[in-house]
A and B are shown apart, each in its own frame.
Chain A
């Protein structure tokens, strides 16, 4: 056993786990104080239900076997995975499973930012496992299926599309689902005329820092080894985030007159999202260009919701969908197998043709179409059975009290007693 590789991937799993709480605070600080616990809850809930589902069937369906569209149940309940090894990385399958479990958990959590302030928690509680099983697992299989069983057979991955750490599988997928969700759920009361500023920018910045820290595990850990690719992915993750944060900050300074914390936080996350699909496929100054482009594009993309009238409360579509799509397509230009000693196609800027770009477009188009339709189907079913939205009164009072009977901030003496 290569203990260096195993150690790095174990540490990466812990880093990526930390990203879900990081996301919870990133989003939580942006909502009103009366809804912050609900936002935290939606994210932590994902860490409760998805890992259980992943262990029992999810991992197997997302990765096992030789199919083209979905996995088999060979690795259900992670049976014997501690003894089986992935030939390419040399890692025990169970290690890969537990590492990827953290990715599976954070993906539905991303959607929570879009449905903030108005979704019944009971509906969210069911949505998470349903979406994970019916949308995440298939898309993951299409890009990565069979990868650890000896041959990449998932139909999109087998065609040559690239997704190093889940730009398409996670960010475009969840971003599309977020769009579908806000269309089904409808707008918050008063939107867009009434708006609510973030209740705690310090929490947002704290969440951003945790996300950046954890993202090193997300991207560099996906190298599945303590090797050069991991080092390149780590560096790319660092540079893309810095560049994108700077780009968004400058766009805001020019457009709105100030450098803002929310701007740099959003930019950093946009950069991290955009470098995710290409983290192990680009080198040199490419991550900086990718970050600058993503930061600028996303800074403008977050206004599209006003143009089209959909209430994507915390800009999941503007940052994750757009950022992931931009990053995934830019691989078609910046992929550099020469620098990384890899056997993947070259991007256009490195002498390749448009073939890789085409595969990126196809993989994303398919993911978007499937995720959109499947997410709507799941939500419409929940809407018809248990209902999706809280009542108008509950929405005004706030979700922390009405959904969870909790209050986030009990400062001072005038709050509650034993009664």
Chain B
């Protein structure tokens, strides 16, 4: 089993969700995060005092899939989250040691 994690622009979340559903991914977890890579932030001014906002709002999407499906999931995320502008984010894949469905107790591949 593989954990596919992606950090994408918040307004692309809907596109990513729909693309994943279209290829049969049945579950995902999203968190609101802040971060930056090469994308710069912006400046806000309050009564003449400038504040530099370096950490930009992003959304992290996590989904656990069978080993064989990981590449297809990565591709779906990349194509749905891309805007061709700086700050589009990244996707990565890590290995999951164990997975259990809480309601039924199923584990391993049956829990995906």
Contact = CB atoms under 8 A, between A and B. Distances in A.
Interface stretch (B6-14, B17-25, B43-51, B64-72): B43-51
Nearest to A30: B46
Contacts of B49: 195
A315 interface: yes
B55 to A, nearest CB: 13
B48 A266 contact: no
A302 B47 contact: yes
Nearest to A255: B48
Contacts of B51: 195, 197
B48 A302 contact: yes
A260 interface: yes
Contacts of B47: 262-263, 266, 302, 315
Interface centre among B48, B50, B51 (most CB of A within 10 A): B48
A60 B5 CA distance: 71
A315 B45 CA distance: 15
Interface string A234-267: 0000000000000000001001111010110010
A404 interface: no
Contacts of B45: 252, 256-258, 260
Contacts of A252: 45, 48
Contacts of B46: 197-198, 260, 262
A262 B46 CA distance: 7
A87 interface: no
13 contacts: A195-B49, A195-B51, A197-B44, A197-B46, A197-B51, A252-B48, A256-B48, A256-B50, A257-B45, A258-B45, A260-B45, A263-B47, A302-B48
Given A198-B46, A252-B45, A302-B47, 17 more contacts: A195-B49, A195-B51, A197-B44, A197-B51, A252-B48, A255-B48, A256-B48, A256-B50, A257-B45, A258-B45, A260-B45, A260-B46, A262-B46, A262-B47, A263-B47, A266-B47, A315-B47
Contacts of A197: 44, 46, 51
Contacts of B50: 256
A258 B43 CA distance: 11
Interface in A290-327: 302-303, 315
A255 B47 CA distance: 10
B22 to A, nearest CB: 31
B87 to A, nearest CB: 22
Contacts of A258: 45
B107 to A, nearest CB: 26
Q: Which among A195, A197, A302, A315 has the greatest number of chain B C-beta atoms within 10 A?
A: A197
Contacts of A302: 47-48
Nearest to B50: A256
Contacts of B48: 252, 255-256, 302-303
Interface string A260-281: 1011001000000000000000
A321 B45 CA distance: 23
Contacts of A198: 46
A303 B51 CA distance: 15
Interface in B27-77: 44-51
A414 B47 CA distance: 34
Nearest to B49: A195
Nearest to B53: A197
A260 B48 CA distance: 10
Contacts of A255: 48
A414 to B, nearest CB: 12
A195 B50 CA distance: 9
A263 B44 CA distance: 13
Interface in A155-197: 195, 197
B98 to A, nearest CB: 24
A258 B45 CA distance: 8
B56 to A, nearest CB: 15
Nearest to B44: A197
A198 B47 CA distance: 10
Contacts of A262: 46-47
A263 B49 CA distance: 12
Nearest to B45: A256
